[in-house]
A = this chain, B = another copy of it.
Amino acid sequence: MFKHVDYLQFQAKPEKPDAFFAAKLQELVGGQFGEMTVMMQYLWQGWSCRVPGKYKDMIMDIATEEIGHVEMLTTMLARLLEGAPAEATEKAAAANPLLAAVLGGQNPQHAIVTGGGAMPTNSQGVPWNAGYIVASGNLLADFRSNVAAEAQSRLQTSRIYNMTDDRGVKDMLQFNLARDTYHQQQWLLGIEQLIADGFTENGIEDSNAEFEHPEANHTFYSFDPESTAGEGRWARGPALNGKDEIIYVPDAQPLTDDRPLGPAPDPKLFVTYDGSMGKGKPGTGAGAHAQGVANVVNKIKGAVTD
């Protein structure tokens, strides 16, 4: 359950309105790595966490903080979108109504849809969607995703930081930059803690490791005869499992003589076919579907007659 405190975590006071900058700042609200993403991603990971105690509490703590970060940004946006001094502007604009041309630099939905508030979209107006969220239940894989999200988010914040001279905006973004720096570390330290607690040996996701193809897991294949990729650390030296030596294969060739061709199609699906692979295997008219029917009938029979 959540509670709300009617103060911002950190102040969001621009020196003056700036609708053009507001249009760009939307990227940090509703973009792929905006605050909505980390808020929802961490909430989702926290709710899915099966390790009670410090792990779950840590994830929920940062998730809760991030709800407040969306609050800070939406407040900042509303203030950046405040109307201009009335008399002067009205006169200027009345005299030059078509100067509206430059309005392209603004986000029209800030006026039409929200009436001067933030939109839940990115800087190009694309609505935020849950396809950005990563939450697998596997803390190692998710902490890796979280480090990446914080790095990308921080980089975008840093680029936007350079696009304004407004002291008040910069103050808030300095806080955000700092949080993103700390949070990168937090998730990296989380991986260290996972190792210390025995949840992973070396920080590589390696479930079902015993079934891996024994060579492909430490081989670099190059697909350009002139590639110089072999000069990097990734192509030589010990693998991170501490056992294998990385193999570099220049100008890699297919490892099989299997050609990428599908089987003869069901004739009732009207796929173009010249018969060269033999006769197609028709179903009941449901095409590929037919196959499943037979399987299920047989298996249910089996189950019932056991």
Q: Given that A7-B258, A129-B131 are known contacts, is A101 also in contact with B102, CB under 8 Å in the complex?
A: yes
Q: Are A207 and B155 in contact (CB under 8 A)?
A: yes
The 10 closest A-B pairs by CB, nearest first: A104-B105, A124-B125, A78-B262, A115-B137, A162-B285, A84-B291, A83-B281, A120-B130, A93-B284, A178-B217
Q: Given that A130-B127, A162-B208, A286-B162 are known contacts, is A233 also in contact with B266, CB under 8 Å in the complex?
A: no
Q: A121 CB to closest chain B CB, in angstroms? A: 6
Q: A193 CB to closest chain B CB, in angstroms? A: 4
Tallying the copies of this chain within the complex gives 6
Q: Are A282 and B86 in contact (CB under 8 A)?
A: yes
Interface residues of A in 150-188 (CB under 8 A from B): 150-152, 154-156, 158-163, 165, 170, 174-175, 177-182, 184-188
Q: Are B254 and A7 in contact (CB under 8 A)?
A: yes
* Nearest-CB residue, chain B, relative to A221: B65
- On chain B, the residues within 8 Å of A128 by CB distance are 129-130
Q: Are B262 and A117 in contact (CB under 8 A)?
A: yes
Kindly state the separation between the CA atoms of A106 and B297 in the bound complex, as whole angstroms. Answer: 15
Q: Are A178 and B122 in contact (CB under 8 A)?
A: no
Q: A251 CB to closest chain B CB, in angstroms? A: 8
Q: Are A101 and B64 in contact (CB under 8 A)?
A: no
Q: Are A158 and B111 in contact (CB under 8 A)?
A: no
* Nearest-CB residue, chain B, relative to A107: B124
Q: Are A50 and B4 in contact (CB under 8 A)?
A: no
Contact with B along A278-290 (1 / 0, CB 8 A): 0011111111111
Q: Given that A71-B260, A84-B294 are known contacts, is A306 also in contact with B61, CB under 8 Å in the complex?
A: no
Contact with B along A1-43 (1 / 0, CB 8 A): 1111111111111000111110110010011100010001001
Partner of A9, one of B110, B187, B254: B254
Q: A263 CB to closest chain B CB, in angstroms? A: 4
Q: Are A291 and B27 in contact (CB under 8 A)?
A: no
- On chain B, the residues within 8 Å of A61 by CB distance are 4, 220-224, 227, 229
- On chain B, the residues within 8 Å of A271 by CB distance are 50, 115-116, 136-138
Kindly state the separation between the CA atoms of A151 and B203 in the bound complex, as whole angstroms. Answer: 10
